[in-house]
Amino acid sequence: MHDVIVTDEEFLASREAVETAAYGIDRMLRRYLSVMKFAARHGLRSGAAAGALEEFIASAEKLQNVCSRIAQHHSEVSRSFAAAVDNADEYLY
Taking only the tens place, the pLDDT of each residue in 18-37 is 999 999 999 999 999 999 99
* Structural domain count, the chain: 1
In sequence order, the 6+-apart residues with CB closer than 8 A to the CB of 77 are none
pTM metric for this prediction: 0.71
In a domain, 27, yes or no: yes
Q: Is-contact 8 82, C-beta < 8 A?
A: yes
Q: What is the DSSP letter of 46?
A: S
Tell me the CA end-to-end span of the chain in Å, nearest whole number: 24
User: CA nearest 72: which of 29, 27, 20, 28?
Assistant: 20
User: Does residue 31 belong to any structural domain of this protein?
Assistant: yes
* Within-domain flag for 4: no
Domain span at 52? 17-92
Specify if 10 maps to a domain: no
User: Is position 6 within any domain?
Assistant: no
The stretches in the chain having pLDDT less than 70 are 92-93
